[in-house]
Amino acid sequence: MNVLILGSGGREHALAWAIGKSPLLDKLYCAPGHAGMAEIATCLPVDAEDGSAVVKLAKDNGIDFAVIGPEAPLVAGVADALRAAGIPVFGPNARAARIEGSKGFMKDLCVRAGVPTAGYRRFDAAAAARAHVRQKGAPIVIKADGLAAGKGVVVAMTLDEALAAIDAAMDKGAFGGAGAEIVVEEYMEGEEASVFALVDGGKALYFADAQDHKRAFDGDRGPNTGGMGAYAPAAAVTPALRDEIMERIIRPTARALAQADSSFCGVLFAGLMITKDGPRLIEYNARFGDPETQAMLPRLKSDLLDALHKTATGRLDEVKLEWSSDTALCVVMAARGYPGDYQKGSVIKGLEKAAARPGVTVFHAATRRGARGEILAHGGRVLGVTGAGATAGQARAAAYAAVDSIDWPEGFCRRDIGARALLR
């Protein structure tokens, strides 16, 4: 098979790395990709959100199967365009991707399906939202309805913060059109976990779980980010909890989507709060997690390409997944200043030495080659350094030893990835 992976982050590098090991693979293409992916695939420039450009690129290169990494192309209908052109694709059509692209759609669907989630109300006018928040009081959660690159959620611990968040989204247009409508949600307490299931129509198969670290700094302080590190499997997700999550959350959602003429084909990513009353849904994503994927895939013993292709071609029933008993832990190295302003173009050294350490895989998230072949930082989250080991402690030691052997003074990372797993 000639395979195309769409996207250019750490998640896509991990997908390319795992798919690259498949005996089913003929040629691997990544679009647009980055310097790390260019080492294992042919990278082609494309606007990943432009369906007709992606279809043309796929046809020109004899692509047999496409895997879409990020949410924006899914919401923009790139999977629809590929399917219409007869190219099998892993990733939902635009109607189904609304599960991530519209929080209001997601919440309404969950209520219909009886999925446990935070109580909520939708607003398209600021005055009514303000009155509601004043009546409910804090803590309370304010969410822009549309895609806002992970920045559209404010967990307001005070009434003033909540009112300011409504103001920013609805009156000041901080998220553009994505914030024209908001969801105001009940605050939930507990430990968070990310759960992934392969889904085709009403059918679902448990894939894996992980725990992300969303805040920028140690001790879960600082601003929210795309994710500063993850480990897998998530210590909080016991086998019993996994069954409960499938039966009460994932399967009812897959069926409800199919009934709403929004049949889902791809990976459904449930962000969960494990509360004292059991698992409750925070949000859905229509794709793999970043950096969760960089911690999950090094544990996968089965052929990822085979699993994704079967999911995409009506054979989910035939998929069997085998996992290593190891823990894997990914530390994200980001450019100083991220998630705020940061510089691009600093030189990163020592990547080969880091990758040669036992149990270590170095994924790139945003890099490019300089004129002399050197690796340059080219974004906010720049590297994902994954260590694997028999215990969470060993995985963490392997990951941080590799991080410490990378020479990049302009980068930073959290030093406490996996701390909750070690506490158990």
Q: Which amino acid is at 75?
A: V
16 is a site residue for ligand AMP (CB under 6 A) = no
Distance, CA of 232 to CA of 216 (rounded, Å) = 19
Residue 370 backbone class (left: φ over 0; alpha: ψ -120 to 50; beta: rest): beta
Choose which of 32, 39, 42, 187 interacts with ligand AMP (CB under 6 A): 187
Q: Which helix (H) or strand (E) holds 186?
A: strand 182-186
Q: Of 31, 78, 118, 156, which one interacts with ligand AMP (CB under 6 A)?
A: 118
Write out the binding residues for ligand GLY, residues 284-313 only, by CB under 6 A.
Answer: 285, 289-290, 292
**Bridge partners for 420 per DSSP:** none
Q: How far is CA 78 from the centre of its chain?
A: 18
């959350």: which residue's tokens?
Answer: 249
User: What track of x and - describes contact with ligand GLY for positions 194 through 213 (by CB under 6 A)?
Assistant: ------------------x-
CB of residue 270 to ligand AMP, shortest distance in Å = 10
The residue count for binding ligand GLY (CB under 6 A) is 6
**Type of residue numbered 405:** S
Which amino acid, one-letter code, is at 12? E
Query: Residues 212-231 vs ligand GLY: string with x where CB under 6 A?
Result: x--------------x----
Residue 22 vs 285, nearer CB to ligand GLY:
285
Q: With residue 55 as reference, give the H or E element that holds it.
A: helix 51-60
Query: What element of type H or E holds 270?
Result: strand 265-275
The DSSP element (H or E) to which 351 belongs, if any, is helix 351-355
| Residue 141: contacted member of ligand AMP, ligand GLY, none (CB under 5 to 8 Å, by partner type) | ligand AMP
Residue 194: closest CA among 279, 71, 116, 316: 279
Among the listed residues 41, 250, 282, 360, the single contact to ligand AMP using CB under 6 A: 282
Neighbours of 356 (CB within 10 A): 11
Whichever of 150 and 314 has its CB closer to ligand AMP, that residue is 150
- Name the binder of 289 from ligand AMP, ligand GLY, none, CB < 5-8 A by kind: ligand GLY
Q: CB-wise, 8 or 285, nearer to ligand GLY?
A: 285
Neighbour tally for 345: CB within 10 Å: 11
Name which of ligand AMP, ligand GLY, none residue 290 binds, using a CB cut-off of 5 to 8 Å depending on partner kind: ligand GLY
If you count them, how many residues does the chain have?
424
The nearer residue to ligand GLY, 332 or 377, going by C-beta atoms, is 332
Please tell me the count of residues contacting ligand AMP according to CB under 6 A.
13
Closer CB to ligand GLY, residue 285 or residue 361?
285
Cα–Cα distance for residue pair 143/158, rounded to 1 Å: 15
Residue 7 contacts ligand GLY per CB under 6 A = no
**Chain residues that interact with ligand GLY, rule: CB under 6 A:** 212, 227, 285, 289-290, 292
Residues that bind ligand AMP (CB under 6 A): 118, 141, 150, 153, 155, 185, 187-188, 192, 214, 271, 282-283
